[in-house]
Amino acid sequence: MQNLLHNLNPEQLAAVTLPAQSALILAGAGSGKTRVLTTRIAWLVQTGQISANGILAVTFTNKAAKEMLMRLSAMLPINTRGLWIGTFHGLCNRLLRAHHRDAGLPQTFQILDSADQLSFIKRLLKANNVDDEKYPPRTLMYFINGAKDSGLRASEVEAYDAIERKMVELYDLYDQQCQREGVVDFAELLLRSYELLSRNQPLREHYQARFKHILVDEFQDTNDLQYKWLKLLAGQHGAVFAVGDDDQSIYAFRGANVGNMSAFEREFRVQNLIKLEQNYRSHGHILDAANTLIANNSKRLGKNLRTDAGHGEPVRVYEATSDIQEAQWIVEEAKNLIREGSLRSEIAILYRSNAQSRVIEHSLFTSGIPYRVYGGQRYFERAEIKHAIAYLQLMDNPHNDSAFLRVVNFPARGIGARSLEQLQDAAKQYNLSLYAAVPYVAGKAGSSLSSFVKLIEGARFETQQLPLPEMVQIVLEVSSLIEHYQTEKEGADRIENLEQLVNAATLFVSEEGFGLDAPALAGPASQATPNVITIADGVEIIDADAALPAVMSPLSAFLSHASLEAGDNQAQAGQDALQLMTVHSAKGLEFDAVFISGLEEGLFPHENSAKEEGGAEEERRLMYVAITRARKRLYMSFSQTRMLHGQTRYNMRSRFFDELPEEAMKWLSPKTQPSWFASSKSAWDESPSTGANTIAQSFNKNAWRIGESVFHAKFGEGVIVNIEGSGANSRAHINFGRHGMKLLDLSIAKLDKIPG
DNA sequence: GCCCTACACCTTTTT
DNA sequence: GGTGTAGGGC
């Protein structure tokens, strides 16, 4: 016990040992929040207040869940595999598998990832002759997910115009088709388990009685449905231990609602609110920068981080002339750090959007520095893996039309658009899945389709007694996927990836405790071992064990895993490499040195954020997250020009520079924005849009030039992005940063030059 | 039925 | 700049 609690500071100790009531822990960045969460669980178990299976702990990312399990197994001498610790989606998946009948789902229901969902919607629109220009698939997807994230079914969504009415109608059709095919999207996992618990009283009461302690990580990221889900599961007596940081709420765009924190305080009658403000991560100047910046936000619960570490190094700021030069500067600085003894893996380069990684990668590649990019395409998202998975999906649930369409003619087996049209007609006529409709198609199309069905059924028969890895191996062969890629020029990598899938299956089966020889298709083990049956009001409840083998077959579990954990992109794993990632994916991580790049108006803060309510504050929180990733060294950079979407953009430096404390910063370049025409000619070379007339004008000392910084009485500082017309008729497009882009008549507008 | 080319659109972040 | 889709040619 003593060693469990020693080394905790007074606030952490108070949080860990709170009584069994709901509590809100406001945990600032680097204040030891994961430590508090895991120690709390260990303390509850060790003091005998609850057994390990009476605890439910929820996180948002698989990474966070794994981290928690790992730390916990170091503190407690128990098997952590059976613990209810996981992501919202992972836990809901388990619950729905265990109670699939009550939830109205087939045992082998499959999970659509975002890409699957989008193509599913495209197919739905086509099948119902809906104009996809009027109803863009992406818009419909956001509409459906938004409704589900608020806990609303189609029948409950209010529509205010004809477009919305149609979207509601499509939402309804979408749900019906998902049901027919036995597939669920991410939001559905939550909504369906919420409905399961709210409609089934004995089940609800059973789990309420079981989970007396619910712990939630990153509470600020919960959406309305997740909040309702927690409230339902906690019931009247459950104690919810919520840990969060309103300043790190960066997922409003996908439905997260920071308001849940104050709602929680009110509705759960929180008596215990503890703030963790002692930061153990960053040096003083870095923390000052973070505190000063975030103070510009109005809606805050109030919290200020402090540190015992000294000021440390100032935050270094660099202004580059181009994105290429910015990347070169970053690489040079990183080299210096490495020369001074830094580990490459302790240096992170952060950016706002994935597209920005390209230039930096190029620069790193040329310098021969190993690096690792997070995000981007992940293992289970690769086309060849998706194909192999689709064969496996059809063997587990043949009614998954998406899987059917993906591989019915891949590798090519002469089943073209015409055959599929006939099949789709038949499926519609008899209200069957494509797979089931195959016998109703006559002629040549019918026979090639039947041989595809025979292929799937043959594979299923051949592998029904085999363990998962062997099943995967056989599927790779009988599907002819390997053979197909052997004939393709660039196929070698793909074949290697496919063979990795067998290893992934082996690893998965052993990690989740299925046993290496358990038949892949065998149902859940709990049906054979009825010792988990509970009787409540005469109703039999098979209690869901947290361990996967108890609730699903190895194959179903593996397919869930592929959707829920897209898998790291395993590029250069294990090597000491520089870390490249978006600010979003850096949340929860920390590094000795951090570079925040592309700090320009329109990029960071992102221009799209201006349209969204509270968007500006969310961008500022994002910046706060970025700053607080750094332990010892922090670098910020921006560039005067940047290639984006194939054209050169001229951006102003980010407004965030005006919100940082002067004394913590060190500008490596003059702070006033110089006219870069004087210092760099490359801006001209890269900008074909500059007409001949403007080039001619540029030799006139008094004329305005593209790229020049100007000052306007009303709009403030701006940059000339383009000039049209000539002489007295010339007008300029000027980017005034937060005031937006303006088209001004140069002979009328009062503009001052800002000297370089 | 399949392959190739042209063009459109994109790009904020993710379970 | 890259990717996905549509349409035309074989």
A568 CB less than 7 Å from any atom of strand B: no
A645 CB less than 7 Å from any atom of strand B: yes
CB proximity list for A398: less than 8 A, separation 6 or greater: A404, A433, A435, A436, A456
A277 CA to B15 C1' distance (Å): 29
- Catalytic residue of the set A185, A218, A565, A601: A218
Interhelix angle A201-210/A224-234, nearest 10 degrees: 80
A632 CA to C3 C1' distance (Å): 39
CA distance A553 to A108: 8
- In the complex, which nucleotide's C1' lies nearest to the CA atom of residue A645? C1
CA distance A286 to A633: 8
Please report which helix (H) or strand (E) contains residue A665, including its range. strand A665-667
Catalytic (active site) residue A221? no
Q: Which of A63, A69, A98 is nearest to A82 (CA)?
A: A69
- In the complex, which nucleotide's C1' lies nearest to the CA atom of residue A609? B12
Alpha helices by DSSP H, A464-550:
468-478, 481-486, 491-511
Q: What residues does A540 pair with on adjacent strands?
A: A535
Assess contact for A260 and A220: CB atoms under 8 A: yes
- Tokens of residue A335, six digits: 């080299």
Residue A63 annotated as binding? no
DSSP-based three-state secondary structure for A21: coil
Catalytic (active site) residue A621? no
Catalytic (active site) residue A217? yes
Residue A27 annotated as binding? yes
A645 CA to C2 C1' distance (Å): 9
How many degrees, rounded to 5, is the angle at CA A673 between CA A295 and CA A670? 85
- In the complex, which nucleotide's C1' lies nearest to the CA atom of residue A254? B14
- Strand C CB shell (< 7 Å): A 119, 122, 358, 643, 645-646
- In the complex, which nucleotide's C1' lies nearest to the CA atom of residue A646? C1
CA distance A630 to A638: 18
Q: Which of A625, A11, A616 is nearest to A286 (CA)?
A: A625
CA distance A38 to A73: 10
> Distances from the Cα of A589 to the Cαs of A34, A222, A288, A348, A605, in angstroms?
12, 20, 19, 10, 21
A6 CB less than 7 Å from any atom of strand B: no
Residue A536 annotated as binding? no
A474 CB less than 7 Å from any atom of strand B: no
Q: What residues does A219 pair with on adjacent strands?
A: none
3-state secondary structure A631-656: EEEEEEEEEEEEEECCEEEECCECHH
Identify the DSSP state of A343: -
Q: Which of A9, A44, A58, A4 is nearest to A30 (CA)?
A: A9
DSSP structure string for A259-319: HHHHHHHHHTT--EEEEE-B-SS--HHHHHHHHHHHTT-SS------B-SS---SPEEEEE
Backbone angles phi, psi at A672, to 5 degrees: -70, 140
Beta pairing, strands A591-596 & A272-276: unpaired
CA distance A219 to A216: 6
A327 CA to C2 C1' distance (Å): 20
A379 CA to B9 C1' distance (Å): 25
CA distance A525 to A36: 35
Catalytic (active site) residue A131? no
Predicted pLDDT of residue A691: 30
- In the complex, which nucleotide's C1' lies nearest to the CA atom of residue A603? B12
Q: Assign 3-state DSSP to chain A and report helix, strand, coil percentages, each to 5.
A: 50, 15, 35
- Tokens of residue A595, six digits: 């570079």
Return the number of other C-beta atoms located less than 10 Å from residue A492's C-beta: 11
- Which value, in Å, is the radius of gyration of the alpha carbons in chain A? 29
Tokens 């399961």 label which residue? A196
Assess contact for A50 and A327: CB atoms under 8 A: no
DSSP structure string for A51-109: -GGGEEEEESSHHHHHHHHHHHHHHSSS-GGGSEEEEHHHHHHHHHHHTTTTTT--TT-
- Considering only CA atoms, name the residue closest to the C1' of nucleotide C1: A646
A645 CA to B5 C1' distance (Å): 21
Predicted pLDDT of residue A726: 58
CA distance A613 to A611: 7
A114 CB less than 7 Å from any atom of strand B: yes
- In the complex, which nucleotide's C1' lies nearest to the CA atom of residue A647? C1
Catalytic (active site) residue A629? yes
Predicted pLDDT of residue A708: 72
A609 CB less than 7 Å from any atom of strand B: yes
A424 CB less than 7 Å from any atom of strand B: no
CA distance A380 to A445: 32
Q: What residues does A284 pair with on adjacent strands?
A: none
Residue A32 annotated as binding? yes
Alpha helices by DSSP H, A273-322:
284-294
CB proximity list for A140: less than 8 A, separation 6 or greater: A121, A125, A167, A170, A171, A174
Identify the DSSP state of A487: S
Residues in chain A, pLDDT under 70: 1-2, 489-490, 525-546, 568-574, 670-706, 713, 722-731, 737-743, 747-748, 750, 755-756
A232 CB less than 7 Å from any atom of strand B: no
Assess contact for A597 and A578: CB atoms under 8 A: no
A391 CA to B4 C1' distance (Å): 28
A371 CA to C6 C1' distance (Å): 38
CA distance A551 to A741: 57
> Distances from the Cα of A274 to the Cαs of A55, A214, A243, A288, in angstroms?
21, 17, 10, 22
- Catalytic residue of the set A17, A21, A34, A80: A34
A419 CB less than 7 Å from any atom of strand B: yes
* pTM for this prediction: 0.86
CB proximity list for A133: less than 8 A, separation 6 or greater: none
A383 CA to B10 C1' distance (Å): 20
Which regions of A568-629 does DSSP assign to beta strands (E)?
Answer: 578-582, 591-596
Alpha helices by DSSP H, A304-375:
323-339, 357-367
- In the complex, which nucleotide's C1' lies nearest to the CA atom of residue A358? C1
How many degrees, rounded to 5, is the angle at CA A176 between CA A175 and CA A178? 65
- Tokens of residue A367, six digits: 């310098």
CA distance A53 to A230: 17
Please report which helix (H) or strand (E) contains residue A723, including its range. strand A716-724
Catalytic (active site) residue A185? no
DSSP-based three-state secondary structure for A25: strand
Whether the CA torsion A279, A284, A287, A292 is positive or negative: it is positive
CA distance A93 to A564: 9
Q: What is the pLDDT of residues A603-631, one digit of tens each?
A: 999 988 887 788 889 999 999 999 999 99
Which nucleotides of strand B are protein-proximal, with an atom < 7 A from a CB?
Answer: 1-3, 9-15
Residue A714 annotated as binding? no
Q: What residues does A275 pair with on adjacent strands?
A: A26
- Catalytic residue of the set A149, A217, A247, A708: A217
Q: Is the peptide bond before A605 cis (omega within 30 degrees of 0)?
A: yes
Beta pairing, strands A716-724 & A709-712: antiparallel
Backbone angles phi, psi at A27, to 5 degrees: -110, 110
Residue A491 annotated as binding? no
Assess contact for A197 and A204: CB atoms under 8 A: yes
Backbone angles phi, psi at A649, to 5 degrees: -115, 145
A597 CA to B8 C1' distance (Å): 30
- In the complex, which nucleotide's C1' lies nearest to the CA atom of residue A644? C1
How many degrees, rounded to 5, is the angle at CA A554 between CA A549 and CA A557? 85
A584 CA to B12 C1' distance (Å): 9
- Considering only CA atoms, name the residue closest to the C1' of nucleotide B10: A645
Which nucleotides of strand C are protein-proximal, with an atom < 7 A from a CB?
Answer: 1-2, 5
A222 CB less than 7 Å from any atom of strand B: no
